[in-house]
Each structure stands twice: as structure tokens, then as C-alpha cells.
Amino acid sequence: MDTKPTQADKTSQLTSDPMSVVQVGLDDGYAYTKVALADGRLFSAPSRARIGSAGVTWIREQEQRIFEYETGGTVYSVGAVDGEATQFDEYPGSALNRVIVQHAFQQAGLSGRSIHLVTGLPVSAYYRHDGQRRQRDIDRKCESLKLPVEPKPNSAKPGKSILSASVAFHEVIPEALAAWYDHVIVTQADGVTLDGDRLSAPIAIVDIGGRTTDFVVVQDQGIVHGSSGSLNRGMLNVKSRVADLIQQTFDVSELGEQSIAKAVDSSRLRLHGKDHDISAMVAAAKRELVELLYAETRRKLGLGVELDRVLFVGGGSAALATDIANWFPNQTIPDHAVFANARGMLKYLQYVCDDTAGGF
């Protein structure tokens, strides 16, 4: 096994030299945007934004929860807003995605920094059924995040400018495959190793995300396309189903997206100043999703008898851990599964991708 310099050796400049390039792994999902930095810090923020200004004047800068950004001549509000739906095919290359990503950079303390970046696309958005890359879609996402996004000054301090984080290098890989890189590239206190046993073993990665659930089977360092692909179902379907059930039960015409998200997370809904237990609705919505995921998992992976391991990653894997606990005798959920893709993207950037030459 090869040993390489520690992350601390490679990235000590992150805090000491503001002019240096910052390497970032970014899982810009439909529900949450996750950031992995080379100094070990991890950040997550809801993928929540809408067109238009915030319409709020913040009396104290510390209380600001909605932030404005401009791209392509349009102002967007990001943060504590009822966000526009991200569940559309063009989202990865959209202005909506760009402002959400810029906000994630700002929250991670990367204002004014030049960034080398790796992100992902769902497997079915990255590969055609025959295994050929969807190069036009990949290029569209690569170029989109290089377009300028300007943070707007805080209304509490209108004269204080905020520097944009700019993407100087960007490569896109399949999202669930990123978790494979996280699995086989092992960081330790004394360096980084490529785990030979994990590298050669046949493994399936099931990435339960917001809009999609991705399946990738890797064997002998090759992707088995017949067992890989995407299902357009994820944790956002739970939120949508609960919203429908709330409307039916409480006879309300519309609730804000933030209220629905909070109700799903807490299993409690507050209406007219009173709390209502909606745990049965949340359980029913999860059950519907789990049944769909189970059927598709069996179609893709069968019983998994020839697989060394089935690795469940993504925020959905953590949220549904008890529901999916016994699908395979050799399944595992890694620590901080929601960040598995972002960590893998960062490792790919650091140890596989040649970001100095602009490619492999």
C-alpha cells in the first residue's frame, strides 16, 4: 500500500495563506448541499433558495438567516426561505444551483478564495444505459459553477462588501462512485493509504439522497452498468407525501416548504399555535418510500451473494437506518454517511485527479 503525505501537510495553507487554492469536495444534492474541506471540516446546508430579494432588514448582523446573491443579472435569496423546488433535471446546471453552492462556500468560510472543486451527478445523469458518458450534461455542470455569483451586502451593513468564492477548476464524477473513493482511500494520522482489499473486492454502493437513489456496483475497479443506475425517488418524496397527507387531514390549502420540512423532521406540526402529532403520517410516507427502494434494490443487486459488501450512504441511509437494517447480511452504513460522497469527492481531487493539469 502506498502512503502519501497527511492531509494536514497538504492543506496547512487553508488557513495560513488566503491567496492559496482551496480543495473542496462538494455534494450539491437536491435536498442538502454538503462540503468537505481538506482540514477535516464538514458543512451541510439545505438546498433552499428562491428568485427575488429577501425583503427583510436585519437589525443585527448576527441574526441574518437569509442571504442574497446575484448571478446572470438575477437576484436570489438563499437560506431560511421557502425554496423553489430543486427536483428538475436541469437543476445541476442551473442558476438556482449556483447560488446555493456559493452560499455553501460562504458558510464554509471560503469568501474570496480560489477553489479547486469536484462535484457529482446522479449515475443515470452521468452515464447512458450503455455506459457512455453524457458529456454534454457533464460539461454543462462543469461550466455552470465557474460562472460568477456575487454576494449582496448585508442589509444591516450595506457598505460592507462580501467577496465571492470563485471556481478555478471543476471536475464531475458519478455521485455514488464518490462514496467508493471514500471507502477505498483511507486517511490515517500518519498518512493516506489505498486499501488493497477494499480496492479489489466487489462492492455495491446504495446512495439514498433527496431526489434520487443511486446504485453503483464496482468490481475489479470497473463499474458494472447492468447493476448500476438511478431511481428517481428519495427523501424529498417523504416530504411531498407528508405535505399531501397534512392537506387532507387538516384541510389546509398550502403550507410553506420550511414548515413541512420541520414537521417531517420533528413529526410535529404547529397550526394556529397548537402542536399536532403527525408521526403516523411520517411513518406512512417513509414506509411507501422504503417499499419502492427495497424493490429496486432487489432488481439491481438481487440477494448480493457475490458482493463482498453493500455500502449504504447518503442522508436517506441515515434517516432510514432502522427500516433498511436487514436487507443484506453484509451491509454497512459508514460514519457520517451523509458526507460520504463529499469526502470521496475531496479524496478523488487530492489523490486521483490532477487538478494542476486540468484533468487526469
pLDDT digits (tens, 9 = 90+) for 144-178: 999 999 999 865 455 567 899 999 999 999 999 99
- For the cut 90, the answer to whether the pLDDT of residue 1 exceeds it is no
Amino acid at 337: A
338-360 mean pLDDT: 82
Poorest-pLDDT segment among 36-45, 140-149, 245-254, 294-303: 245-254
What is the model's pLDDT at position 157? 58
What is the model's pLDDT at position 190? 80
Give the closest residue to 316 by CA, choosing from 216, 212, 174, 176.
212
- Positions of E strands within the chain: 3-4, 21-28, 32-37, 42-46, 49-51, 66-71, 74-79, 114-121, 150-151, 166-174, 185-188, 191-194, 203-208, 213-219, 222-223, 229-231, 268-271, 274-277, 309-313, 331-332
Average pLDDT, the chain: 90
Task: Check: CB of residue 56 under 8 Å from CB of residue 155.
Answer: yes
Q: How far apart are the first and last CA of the chain?
A: 21
Give the closest residue to 123 by CA, choosing from 321, 357, 322, 314.
314
Eight-state DSSP code of residue 194: E
User: pLDDT (tens digit, 9 = 90+) per residue, 176-190?
Assistant: 999 999 999 998 878
Q: Which CATH class is domain 3-189+336-351?
A: alpha beta
43-71 mean pLDDT: 89
What is the model's pLDDT at position 354? 76
Q: Which long-range contacts (CB under 8 A, 24 or more apart) does 14-19 make?
A: 14/38, 14/39, 15/39, 18/112, 18/113, 19/114
Poorest-pLDDT segment among 56-65, 91-100, 323-332: 56-65
Poorest-pLDDT segment among 9-23, 228-242, 282-296, 320-334: 9-23
What is the model's pLDDT at position 136? 97
What is the model's pLDDT at position 18? 66
Angle between the N-to-C axes of helices 340-351 and 175-184, in degrees from 0 to 180, rounded to the nearest 10:
70
- For the cut 80, the answer to whether the pLDDT of residue 14 exceeds it is no
d(CA 344, CA 186): 10
What is the model's pLDDT at position 16? 52
Tell me the pairing of strands 32-37 and 42-46. antiparallel
Give the closest residue to 256 by CA, choosing from 81, 26, 41, 78.
81
Give the closest residue to 233 by CA, choosing from 207, 257, 258, 255.
207
Q: How confident is the model at residue 253 (pLDDT cuts 50, 70, 90)?
A: confident
Task: Check: CB of residue 207 under 8 Å from CB of residue 235.
Answer: no
Count CA atoms within 13 Å of residue 322 on its CB side.
Answer: 3
What is the model's pLDDT at position 62? 75
User: pLDDT (tens digit, 9 = 90+) per residue, 283-329?
Assistant: 999 999 999 999 999 999 999 999 999 999 999 999 999 999 999 99
- For the cut 60, the answer to whether the pLDDT of residue 214 exceeds it is yes
User: pLDDT (tens digit, 9 = 90+) per residue, 270-281?
Assistant: 999 999 999 999
Helices within 30-188 (DSSP H only): 95-107, 123-126, 135-144, 175-184
Three cell numbers written together for 171: 471536475
User: pLDDT (tens digit, 9 = 90+) per residue, 97-134?
Assistant: 999 999 999 999 999 999 999 999 999 999 998 999 99
Length of the chain: 360
What is the model's pLDDT at position 155? 54
Sign of the alpha-carbon torsion through 316, 321, 322, 327 = positive
What is the model's pLDDT at position 169? 97
Q: What are residue 148's DSSP bridge partners? A: none
Q: How confident is the model at residue 39 (pLDDT cuts 50, 70, 90)?
A: very high
Q: How confident is the model at residue 7 (pLDDT cuts 50, 70, 90)?
A: very low
